[in-house]
Amino acid sequence: MRILLVGSGGREHALALGLHQDPAVTDLHCAPGNPGIAEFATLHPVDVTDNIAITSLAQSLAVDLVVVGPEVPLVNGVADALRAGGIPTFGPSKAAAQLEGSKNFAKEVMRDAGVPTARSFTCTTEQEIAAALDEFGAPYVVKDDGLAAGKGVVVTHDRSEALAHALSCKRVVIEEYLAGPEISLFGISDGQRILAMQPAQDFKRAHDNDEGPNTGGMGAYSPLPWAPSDIIEDTHKQVLAPMIAEMAARGTPFIGLLYAGLALTDHGIRVIEFNVRFGDPETQVLIPRLITPLGQLLLAAATGNLAQQELQWRDD
């Protein structure tokens, strides 16, 4: 199997290692990749925002599968371009990628799917913002509606800081604070089915004692020995399966990796956010634990054939 992996970060390095270890993968390419990936794959200097260049590269290489790592090309519609060119692709369409591209859209889908999440308001004016902040009180949770590389969320007790961040966004989602530990739980979907992966926990804030601003991720670990024993089954039932069913019902089936950021509250699990691709840094601790051959798994998802797949894991 010949595979093209799109991206260049630590997430892509972890994915590339997993793909390289699959005995069915005979030829691995990465665009643009990084020096670590170059040790065992062929790199191509392609801009990940250039859908035409990525599609042309995939066609020229005659790949059997394209795996898209970052969110930006997915939200830009690269998966649509690749599929239009007849290339199996692991990654959602532009329409389905709006689950990450717009937090308001994700809230609407969660509402229709009956998925538990925080109460929220979507605001575009200072008057709406002020009313929403007063409704929920501190700690204030303010989220830029669009993509922000993991840095668009402010959680603060300072109302002026919350207001300033909200006013800097074109559209903002303000929601109630969810108290409880946070975990990440991914699901691999072929548009109809979804297989839940093992949970991981990442650390977003810079500096000691979580005193700094949110980042794209300071580190992660898995397994989580303290997590509820039924967390995977519970998340599949309450979150992952209903979201996949709702997206299919809307005519925008989700094919790829659905990342659920969860809060484990006193009232049960609540969704904090969705991403539409493998999370970084969580992927760096999950892929080394996965026994199931990664290339074959992702090809099955991309071609609607997950029914015969199951995930096997190492315990360490």
Q: Is the pLDDT of residue 214 over 70?
A: no
For the stretch 49-58, pLDDT in tens is 999 999 999 9
Who's near 212: CB < 8 A, 6+ residues apart?
205, 206
Q: SS3 for 240?
A: helix
pLDDT number for residue 117: 98
- Residues 113 and 235: their CA atoms lie apart, in Å, by 14
For the stretch 45-80, pLDDT in tens is 999 999 999 999 999 999 999 999 999 999 999 999
- Residues 102 and 107: their CA atoms lie apart, in Å, by 9
For the stretch 271-285, pLDDT in tens is 999 999 999 999 999
- Residues 273 and 277: their CA atoms lie apart, in Å, by 12
- Residues 162 and 29: their CA atoms lie apart, in Å, by 43
For the stretch 118-168, pLDDT in tens is 999 999 999 999 999 999 999 999 999 988 766 789 999 999 999 999 999
- Residues 303 and 297: their CA atoms lie apart, in Å, by 10
Q: Are 20 and 27 in contact (CB under 8 A)?
A: no
Query: Bridge-partner residues for 4, per DSSP?
Result: 29, 66
- Residues 252 and 240: their CA atoms lie apart, in Å, by 15
- Residues 80 and 232: their CA atoms lie apart, in Å, by 30
pLDDT number for residue 316: 77
pLDDT number for residue 213: 74
- Residues 298 and 19: their CA atoms lie apart, in Å, by 9
Within 13 Å, how many C-alpha atoms sit on residue 295's CB side?
22
DSSP β-ladder status, 172-175 and 182-190: unpaired
Q: What is this structure's pTM? A: 0.94
Task: Extract the tokens encoding 296.
Answer: 């074959």
For the stretch 81-103, pLDDT in tens is 999 999 999 999 999 999 999 99
Tell me yes or no: is domain 2-90 CATH 3.50.50.60: no
Cis previous bond, 199, omega within 30: no
Phi, psi of 246 (to 5 degrees): -70, -40
Closest among 106, 137, 140, 76 to 261, alpha carbons compared? 106
Phi, psi of 259 (to 5 degrees): -100, 120
First and final C-alpha spacing in the chain: 29
Phi, psi of 240 (to 5 degrees): -65, -55
Q: Tell me which amino acid residue 55 is.
A: T
Tell me yes or no: is domain 120-175 CATH 3.40.50.2300: no
- Residues 186 and 33: their CA atoms lie apart, in Å, by 23
Task: Extract the tokens encoding 86.
Answer: 């007849």
Quickly name the fold that domain 98-115+179-308 has.
D-amino Acid Aminotransferase; Chain A, domain 1 (3.30.470)
Task: Extract the tokens encoding 20.
Answer: 């390289």
For the residues 104-131, what does the mean pLDDT come to?
97
Who's near 160: CB < 8 A, 6+ residues apart?
none
Q: Are 253 and 192 in contact (CB under 8 A)?
A: yes
- Residues 163 and 308: their CA atoms lie apart, in Å, by 50
- Residues 36 and 123: their CA atoms lie apart, in Å, by 43
Edge-to-edge strand list for the sheet holding 153-156: 120-123, 172-175, 140-144, 153-156
Q: Where are the domains of the chain?
A: 2-90, 98-115+179-308, 120-175
pLDDT number for residue 150: 64
